Amino acid sequence: MTARPSWLHARDIAAAAGASAALAPEYVPLDRAVGRRLADDLVTPIDLPHFASAAMDGWLVVGDGPWELVAVEAPAPGQARTIVTGAHVPAPTDGAHLAVLRSESGAVEGGVLRSTVADEPRPGHHIRLPATEAERGELLIASGTRLNPAHVALAAATGADELAVQAVPTVALVFTGDEVIESGLPAAGRVRDSFGVQFPALIGMLGGRVVGAARIPDHHDDTVAALRDARAEVIVTTGGTGGSSADHVRAALLELGARLLVDGVAMRPGGPTRIAELPDGRLVVALPGNPLAAMISAITLVEPLLAQLAGREPVAPRVVRGPAAEGRAGSTVLVPYSDVHGRAVVAAWRGAAMLRGLAGATGILVVPPEGLREGEDAESLPVPWLVLPVSAVEN
Ligand SMILES: Nc1nc2c(c(=O)[nH]1)N[C@H]1C(S)=C(S)[C@@H](COP(=O)(O)OP(=O)(O)OC[C@H]3O[C@@H](n4cnc5c(N)ncnc54)[C@H](O)[C@@H]3O)O[C@H]1N2
Ligand code: MOO
């Protein structure tokens, strides 16, 4: 077995595996685009607004009043006609100034309109001019932006019917473990499943879409069959990564002819994580069974893989003021922490099987092998649910 890559190197390998299988953008109608990430810059092909219009109900008046009330589209100087909010204002003729006089600001008598307000209308009053919001050719939404409802409304105003959005890679889950139960109180020797209840949401936040989940016993043939049959661009397995007689994921991958891109990582927890490519191009991330280990691996290694598969940059580490933390020779230690007044405070519950620390964490602190000194700059990755609220997950 070759040496385990560092955590940073494993992230690069995960990203490269995703990039090598990068999916083409999809075209979706506007009403399906909220929550998706734009795959191309949105440049408006028209001015916004693209025509002059009335901003108020009333009369379109040309030149100075009083005005003769007429029923033509383009009144001449000294004439006026009724107009409603949003209606087209024709270009002025003879250089005359146009304005809209509000219905509450004028009175008509004997076919003649007069303003009843001293300072109305001023030239151009209550007329929305073209290109005041954007000029044709202007960049309105940058590629990579996660589209909100207002973005989509703006796209519609430019005349777009659909948008190119980043593909959402499909993910099939394979959970191993004879001891795992899905409901009720676990007896000694049994554990409640930590993954089935949250991986669809977590994977959604990391940029994928769960399309299937299988539960298999700790058995070689079942593991081979589950990996063979999983229909998705990415397969994420949990458990069974160790070296015991109950752990079959690595052997099953090899039996299926998979290429092991990462065969364990110099990280704690999450050391037994593997990344592989099956002969048909499906990518596999094998996460360890310990719940915190699996989630930290998912957040820090599955994310870059899914990001590059979708055609975007992985979430970049942020710099935080680190606490003093002991390193571990030859390994990167990853610990849930909370941001307390700008300082990273490491969670008390950080054992590989503990979830309590992560549940209340702001992010995951990266402790390099040489450790951290109090106040030293340290890298961290945000927990994905703080970057992307659950309600925004595209599914
Ligand atoms: N002799 C050694 N033993 C172990 C080593 C080692 O280097 N030498 N590494 C340890 C590390 S680190 C990890 S992580 C685990 C890897 O375990 P597996 O991936 O094989 O996972 P399992 O053995 O199946 O389970 C480990 C642990 O996690 C619990 N588990 C599994 N699935 C679930 C689930 N769906 N929900 C909640 N908990 C789950 C399982 O019950 C075990 O407690 O190996 C160490 N051992
Ligand atoms: O590396 Mo294991 O993943 O500590 O629990």
For ligand 1, mutation pick of 178, 197, 290, 331 (most atoms within 8 Å of CB): 290
For residue 61, is pLDDT > 70? Answer: yes
Element (H, E) at 165: strand 162-165
**CATH 3.40.980.10 in the chain, residue ranges:** 7-26+168-310
The ligand whose atoms approach the alpha carbon of 173 most closely is 1
- DSSP track, 270-293: -TT-EEEE-TTS-EEEEE-SSHHH
pLDDT at residue 2, as a whole number: 62
Contact (Cβ atoms closer than 8 angstroms) between residue 148 and residue 211: no
Residue in 176, 279, 182 with CA at minimum distance from that of residue 223 = 176
Ligand 2 atom nearest to CA at 353: 5
Ligand 2 atom nearest to CA at 297: 3
Residue 8 — φ and ψ, nearest 5°? -65, -45
For residue 271 and ligand 2, the question of a CB distance below 6 A is answered with yes
Fill in the amino acid letter for 271.
G
For residue 264 and ligand 1, the question of a CB distance below 6 A is answered with no
Ligand 1 atom nearest to CA at 194: 36
Average pLDDT of span 357-386: 95
Instruction: Determine which residue's CA is closest to atom 3 belonging to ligand 2.
Output: 270
Reduce the secondary structure of 3-24 to three states and give it as a string.
CCCEHHHHHHHHHHHHHHCCCC
- Provide the Cα torsion 24, 205, 148, 339; round to 10°: -130
Residues 270-281 pLDDT 10s? 999 999 999 999
Element (H, E) at 98: strand 98-102
3-state DSSP call for residue 217?
coil
Residue that the structure tokens 């151009």 belong to: 124
Residues 188-243 pLDDT 10s? 999 999 999 999 999 999 999 999 999 999 999 999 999 999 999 999 999 999 88
User: Could you tell me the fold of the domain covering 27-45+143-165?
Assistant: Molybdopterin biosynthesis moea protein, domain 2 (3.90.105)
pLDDT at residue 391, as a whole number: 43
The ligand whose atoms approach the alpha carbon of 286 most closely is 1
Average pLDDT of span 363-379: 96
The ligand whose atoms approach the alpha carbon of 289 most closely is 1
For ligand 2, mutation pick of 265, 268, 285, 364 (most atoms within 8 Å of CB): 268
Dihedral sign for Cα 348, 351, 352, 354, please: negative
Instruction: Determine which residue's CA is closest to atom 1 belonging to ligand 1.
Output: 243
Element (H, E) at 211: strand 209-216
pLDDT at residue 388, as a whole number: 67
pLDDT band at residue 393 under the 50/70/90 scheme: very low
DSSP, res 300: I
Residue in 356, 392, 333 with CA at minimum distance from that of residue 37 = 392
Residues 257-269 pLDDT 10s? 999 999 999 999 9
3-state DSSP call for residue 386?
helix
Whether residue 130 is preceded by a cis peptide bond, meaning omega within 30 degrees of 0, is no
For residue 392, is pLDDT > 80? Answer: no
For the chain, how big is the Rg over CA atoms in Å? 31
pLDDT at residue 86, as a whole number: 97
Ligand 1 atom nearest to CA at 293: 14
CATH of domain 318-392: 2.40.340.10
Instruction: Determine which residue's CA is closest to atom 4 belonging to ligand 2.
Output: 269
pLDDT at residue 390, as a whole number: 45
| Ligand 2 centroid to residue 291 C-alpha, Å | 9
Give the mean pLDDT of the chain. Answer: 94
pLDDT at residue 361, as a whole number: 97
CATH of domain 53-128: 2.170.190.11
Contact (Cβ atoms closer than 8 angstroms) between residue 140 and residue 172: no
Residues 64-117 pLDDT 10s? 999 999 999 999 999 999 999 999 999 877 778 999 999 999 999 999 999 999
**CATH 3.90.105.10 in the chain, residue ranges:** 27-45+143-165
For residue 143, is pLDDT > 90? Answer: yes
What superfamily does domain 7-26+168-310 belong to in CATH? MoaB/Mog-like domain (3.40.980.10)
For residue 290 and ligand 2, the question of a CB distance below 6 A is answered with yes
Q: What CA–CA distance (Å, rounded) separates 164 from 156?
A: 13
Ligand 2 atom nearest to CA at 288: 3
- DSSP track, 330-348: TBEEEEEEEEETTEEEE-S
The ligand whose atoms approach the alpha carbon of 265 most closely is 2
Average pLDDT of span 356-371: 97
- Provide the Cα torsion 384, 41, 164, 156; round to 10°: 100
- DSSP track, 32-75: G-TTSBBSS-EE-SS-BS-S-EESSSEEEEESSSSEEE--SSSP
Distance of CA 114 to the CA centre of its chain: 56
Query: What are the tokens at 67?
Result: 């005005």
3-state DSSP call for residue 394?
coil
**CATH 2.40.340.10 in the chain, residue ranges:** 318-392
